């Protein structure tokens, strides 16, 4: 019978990040942070972006539900970002085809909620109409225009020119605070709002009503009174209900024009493109998914995580009962996870490789998985 050969961890050739800390806790105790998670469909999900960054950067706990490991999903198209790098805008840039796909998804959701075709069309037209945004012609330039023209908000560009050759169009000045109201949007037309809000009329009056607590325009979702534990959850829900603004690359009407002012050659025709600011009707959020062993370790061993179910925090004993019911061999796998974590390894779920745990030194960005771990429970014959 061949003996098992254990090799030292093999370091990755290309490492693009630095090692911060083995655990998401402060040794001095000054900046100790208790993150929040919730149980959804027998999974432990972290939704707060600050908690996601804290848990993953310090210890590499969990994985992004839309990414391979680090939660870095973005709706923006990297090729379009490089193409429009001359336009200094801090917003996602997507293609018109990708945007129309999300409009169709939002349409199917509204139809499933019982809205008729005319109401669905009216809601989507009002929600996806062009919006005004501050336009910067070059890096470090001042915003052009001070208006709120929701019909002709665009950054024109000719596809044959260089990436930095961006011409911004500005319209006449109308109202000073109109730009903020346009970017806030109508709370009643928000597609992530409940159906009762969508059925109510007079959306313009709702957009103009300001909150007495925070002074923001539209439905901010804040509450004047609330406990300190509920405020992070309310903040996350408010951010998820807030509209997401994207820049859609569209073709201008009659955009075919000769290149280099050659009006006689038809083969040199190019298309003019522009960026239009619109609201995203179908948002996709990336959460941090923790394994049951990772979640219990953060709660029991480190005390830096609080897990909720139906908006109620669960105790350590209750979590042990719930996780043991969801995963029959949870007791065995957690003992193995706790042992290797305390030894400095970073255990990860090894289901894809037919094992219980994969062990990483320092973390997945630095080393390849070394040995695989099978967890067995030894039963006493007596």
Q: What is the pLDDT of residues 218-247, one digit of tens each?
A: 334 444 344 445 565 666 666 666 778 999
Report pLDDT for 51.
Answer: 94
Report pLDDT for 330.
Answer: 93
Report pLDDT for 10.
Answer: 86
Mean pLDDT of 305-327: 95
Mean pLDDT of 116-142: 75
* pLDDT-based confidence at residue 158 (cuts at 50, 70, 90): very low
Token pair recorded at residue 365:
């960005």
* pLDDT-based confidence at residue 165 (cuts at 50, 70, 90): very low
Please name the helix (run of DSSP H) or strand (run of DSSP E) that holds residue 46, with its range, or none.
strand 43-46
* pLDDT-based confidence at residue 190 (cuts at 50, 70, 90): very low
Report pLDDT for 168.
Answer: 33
Give the span between the Cα atoms of 336 and 343, in whole angstroms: 11
* pLDDT-based confidence at residue 312 (cuts at 50, 70, 90): very high
Q: What is the pLDDT of residues 105-124, one digit of tens each?
A: 999 999 999 999 999 999 99
Measured CA angle at 235 (ends 313, 177), to 5 deg: 170
Phi, psi angle pair for 316, to nearest 5°? -65, -45
Report pLDDT for 234.
Answer: 65
**For residue 382, how many other CB atoms are within 10 A of its CB?**
3
Query: Distance of alpha carbon 318 from its chain centroid, rounded?
Result: 30
Token pair recorded at residue 372:
């695989």
User: With 80 as the cut, is the pLDDT of residue 271 above it?
Assistant: no
As a whole-number percent, the residues of the chain with pLDDT over 90 amount to 36
Q: What is the chain's mean pLDDT, rounded?
A: 73
Give the span between the Cα atoms of 60 and 294, in whole angstroms: 10
Mean pLDDT of 281-304: 94
* pLDDT-based confidence at residue 213 (cuts at 50, 70, 90): very low
Sign (positive/negative) of CA torsion 366, 367, 369, 373?
A: negative
Nearest to 251 by CA among 99, 124, 29: 99
**Minimum mean pLDDT range among 206-220, 303-317, 333-347, 350-364:** 206-220
Mean pLDDT of 297-307: 95
Mean pLDDT comparison of 125-129, 192-196, 228-232, 235-239, highest-scoring range: 125-129
The DSSP 8-state label assigned to residue 260 in this structure reads: G
Measured CA angle at 376 (ends 373, 381), to 5 deg: 160
Contact 90, 81 (CB under 8 A): no
**Minimum mean pLDDT range among 11-25, 75-89, 170-184, 223-237:** 170-184
* pLDDT-based confidence at residue 101 (cuts at 50, 70, 90): very high
Q: Which residue has the higher pLDDT, 85 or 5?
A: 85
User: With 50 as the cut, is the pLDDT of residue 300 above it?
Assistant: yes
Q: What is the distance between the terminal CA atoms of the chain, rounded to a whole angstrom?
A: 31
Pairing label, strands 288-290, 272-279? unpaired
Residues facing 183 on adjacent strands: none
Contact 286, 69 (CB under 8 A): no
* pLDDT-based confidence at residue 377 (cuts at 50, 70, 90): low
Report pLDDT for 90.
Answer: 82
User: With 70 as the cut, is the pLDDT of residue 302 above it?
Assistant: yes
pTM summary value: 0.68
45-53 — which CB contacts under 8 Å span 24+ positions?
45/287, 45/288, 45/289, 45/290, 46/287, 46/288, 46/289, 46/290, 47/236, 47/240, 47/285, 47/287, 48/232, 48/235, 48/236, 51/232, 51/288, 52/287, 52/288
Give the span between the Cα atoms of 117 and 113, in whole angstroms: 12
* pLDDT-based confidence at residue 369 (cuts at 50, 70, 90): confident
User: With 70 as the cut, is the pLDDT of residue 212 above it?
Assistant: no
Largest CA distance in the chain: 96
Give the span between the Cα atoms of 291 and 112, in whole angstroms: 33
* pLDDT-based confidence at residue 132 (cuts at 50, 70, 90): confident
Query: What residue spans of 86-166 are helical by DSSP H?
Result: 96-112, 117-127
Report pLDDT for 8.
Answer: 79
Query: Distance of alpha carbon 178 from its chain centroid, rounded?
Result: 28
Phi, psi angle pair for 175, to nearest 5°? -130, 145
Report pLDDT for 1.
Answer: 47
Give the span between the Cα atoms of 232 and 368, in whole angstroms: 36
Query: What residue spans of 170-272 are helical by DSSP H?
Result: 178-184, 195-199, 203-208, 230-241
- Which residue do the tokens 């012609």 mark? 137
Nearest to 306 by CA among 48, 42, 67: 48
Query: Distance of alpha carbon 327 from its chain centroid, rounded?
Result: 29
Report pLDDT for 354.
Answer: 80
């Amino acid at each position: 019978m061949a003996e098992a050969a254990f090799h030292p961890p093999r370091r990755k050739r290309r490492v693009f990040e630095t090692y911060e800390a083995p655990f998401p806790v402060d040794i001095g105790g000054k900046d100790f942070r208790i993150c929040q998670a919730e149980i959804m469909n027998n999974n432990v999900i972290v939704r707060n972006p600050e908690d996601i960054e804290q848990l993953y950067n310090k210890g590499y706990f969990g994985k992004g539900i839309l990414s391979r490991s680090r939660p870095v999903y973005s709706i923006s198209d990297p090729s379009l970002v490089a193409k429009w790098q001359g336009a200094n805008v801090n917003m996602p840039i997507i293609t018109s085809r990708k945007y129309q796909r999300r409009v169709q998804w939002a349409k199917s959701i509204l139809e499933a909620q019982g809205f008729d075709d005319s109401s669905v069309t009216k809601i989507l037209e009002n929600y996806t109409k062009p919006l005004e945004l501050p336009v910067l012609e070059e890096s470090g330039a001042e915003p052009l225009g001070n208006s709120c023209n929701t019909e002709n908000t665009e950054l024109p560009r000719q596809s044959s020119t260089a990436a930095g050759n961006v011409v911004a169009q500005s319209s006449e000045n109308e109202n000073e605070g109109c730009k903020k109201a346009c970017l806030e949007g109508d709370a009643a037309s928000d597609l992530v709002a409940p159906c009762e809000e969508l059925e109510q009329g007079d959306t313009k009056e709702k957009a103009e009503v300001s909150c007495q607590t925070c002074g923001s325009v539209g439905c901010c979702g804040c509450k004047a009174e609330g406990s300190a534990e509920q405020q992070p959850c309310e903040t996350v829900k408010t951010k998820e209900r807030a509209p997401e603004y994207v820049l859609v690359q569209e073709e201008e009407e009659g955009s075919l024009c000769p290149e280099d002012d050659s009006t006689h050659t038809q083969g040199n025709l190019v298309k003019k493109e522009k960026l239009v600011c619109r609201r995203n009707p179908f948002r996709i959020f990336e959460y941090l998914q923790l394994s049951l062993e990772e979640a219990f370790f953060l709660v029991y061993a480190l005390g830096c995580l609080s897990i909720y179910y139906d908006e109620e925090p669960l105790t350590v004993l209750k979590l042990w009962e719930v996780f043991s019911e969801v995963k029959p061999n949870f007791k065995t796998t957690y003992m193995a996870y706790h042992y290797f974590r305390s030894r400095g390894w970073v255990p990860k779920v090894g289901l894809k490789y037919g094992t219980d745990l994969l062990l990483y030194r320092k973390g997945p960005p630095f080393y390849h998985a070394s040995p695989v771990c099978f967890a067995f429970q030894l039963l006493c014959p007596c």
